[in-house]
Amino acid sequence: MIKKIDHIAIAVKNLAEEITRYRDVLGLEYLGSETVASQKVNVAFFRINNVFIELLEPTGTDSPISSFIEKKGGGLHHLALEVDDIQAEIKRLQGKNVQLLDREPRNGAHHAQIAFVHPKSFSGVLFELKQQGDES
């Protein structure tokens, strides 16, 4: 079951510059950064009440974010939806003939389990399903 919007992900060319803009110009609460090697991205997180903004910077030319930036110049990449049970949600969506990019969850930031829904299924919007991870 979908619980809430977890985060809005934005692809950027230069993470350090954008951290400064989002923190110092917009005044958003900066929560820190990390590298997610399996996704080939560096990420920075900001909080606005109970929703997060996630900035995504490619770690190399073979990153999916790199090709997104090359095609679109950056900007809104995906909308993440928090779910209680990611495997059950994948199965539920498959039963409704939703096209998925991931049929099995994979590792995301903060030890979360994630899976992506193909944008063709929802008018061009890329959705990420996210089951919170164990922060310990």
CATH number of domain containing 117 = 3.10.180.10
Question: pLDDT digit string (tens) for 76-100?
Answer: 999 999 999 999 999 999 999 999 9
| Helix extents (H) in the chain | 15-20, 64-72, 86-95
Domain-embedded: residue 47: yes
Give Cα separations from 113 to 14, 21, 27, 38, 68 (angstroms).
Answer: 26, 29, 29, 12, 22
Query: What local confidence, expressed as pLDDT, does residue 71 receive?
Result: 94
- Average predicted confidence (pLDDT) for the chain: 94
Question: pLDDT digit string (tens) for 124-133?
Answer: 999 999 999 8
Q: Which domain holds residue 81?
A: 2-131
- Model confidence band, residue 38 (pLDDT cutoffs 50, 70, 90): confident
* Count of the separate structural domains present in the chain: 1
